[in-house]
Amino acid sequence: MKALLITFEGIEGSGKTVVSREVHGALERVGIAATLVREPGGTAVSEAIRRILLDPARTEMAPRAELFLYLASRAQLVAEVIGPALAAGRSVICDRYLDASVAYQGWARGLGEDFVARLNAAAVAGAVPDRTFILDCAVGVGFARGPSQREADGIAARDRLEREETRFHEKVREGYLRLARREVKRIVVIDASRPLDEVVRAALGNLEGLFNVKLAVEPI
């Protein structure tokens, strides 16, 4: 079976971290070797960049600087983890990936979707997703959910991006939905306003065709 790169995207609080973890577990339970990673992060270099990017004290960060930090983290993750895993026959489940930069920096920050896409192509060196799930929900739904991975990272109660105004997060959502309309073969939009076990079930149902295997949901 070909190793696949599966990515999960969405606004803050959409459930990406929980759903990607559950999908990874479902694959492992049926004997499909898979590696779970997150962005930004996943390597020593990338985790150091993550701390800079999410630090709420870094209010002076320019949009282009923000973009290039994400790209640097991504390039290191591909070189050190994603690329070797795929080459070894291990599928990869990624909590955020290149589409995040298109939605956040390309659309919401106004740097240009095509501009960011070209830089992404250089950063990932051919490691493009086979399937991307956008977990879509209203901004208010996302922020009403519990605390994110930030607590495990030792970051303040709300990180730098989470502190952005509501309109910024609405534009991020717009950016994701624009991508979904442009790449209908790769991107699947899932209603993430539902309970997360239903979201997991929807993702696994879609992946069953890709992996040609029955995937079970465990209670969250």
Read off the pLDDT band of 156 (50, 70, 90): very low
Between 159 and 103, residue with greater pLDDT: 103
Mean of pLDDT values over 13-36: 95
Tokens standing for 154?
């030792």
Mean of pLDDT values over 147-172: 72
Query: Any idea what the CATH number is for the domain that residue 180 is in?
Result: 3.40.50.300
User: What is the H or E stretch that residue 214 is in?
Assistant: none
In a domain, 143, yes or no: no
pLDDT at 157: 59
Between 155 and 99, residue with greater pLDDT: 99
Residue 56 DSSP label: T
Task: Tell me how far apart the alpha carbons of residues 45 and 52 are, in angstroms, rounded to a whole number.
Answer: 11
Q: Positive or negative, the Cα torsion across 204, 205, 211, 217?
A: positive
Q: Positive or negative, the Cα torsion across 204, 208, 211, 216?
A: positive
pLDDT at 162: 86
Give yes or no for residue 154 having a pLDDT over 50: no
pLDDT at 153: 40
pLDDT at 146: 54
In a domain, 166, yes or no: yes
Q: Positive or negative, the Cα torsion across 203, 103, 65, 58?
A: negative
Length of the chain: 220
Average pLDDT, the chain: 92
State pTM to two decimals: 0.92
State how far the alpha carbon of 21 is from the alpha carbons of 16, 18, 28, 59, 74, in Å.
8, 5, 11, 31, 19
| Structural domain containing residue 127 | 5-132+155-211
Question: Half-sphere exposure of residue 98, counting CA atoms within 13 Å on the CB side?
Answer: 28
Read off the pLDDT band of 147 (50, 70, 90): low
In a domain, 144, yes or no: no
pLDDT at 180: 98
In a domain, 61, yes or no: yes
Give yes or no for residue 142 having a pLDDT over 90: no
Tokens 């493009």: give the residue: 128
Task: Tell me how far apart the alpha carbons of residues 12 and 40 are, in angstroms, rounded to a whole number.
Answer: 14
Q: Positive or negative, the Cα torsion across 171, 173, 179, 181?
A: negative
Mean of pLDDT values over 37-66: 95
pLDDT-above-70 percentage for the chain: 94
For the chain, how many structural domains are there in total?
A: 1
- Residues forming beta bridges with residue 10, ordered by sequence position: 135
Mean of pLDDT values over 76-92: 98
Read off the pLDDT band of 80 (50, 70, 90): very high
Give yes or no for residue 151 having a pLDDT over 60: no
CA angle 207/212/217 to nearest 5° reads: 50
pLDDT at 150: 40
In a domain, 140, yes or no: no
In a domain, 217, yes or no: no
Provide the angle, in degrees to the nearest 10, between the axes of the packed helices 44-54 and 63-77.
160
Mean of pLDDT values over 58-83: 97
In a domain, 141, yes or no: no
pLDDT at 84: 98
Inter-residue contact 129 to 91 (CB < 8 Å): no
In a domain, 82, yes or no: yes
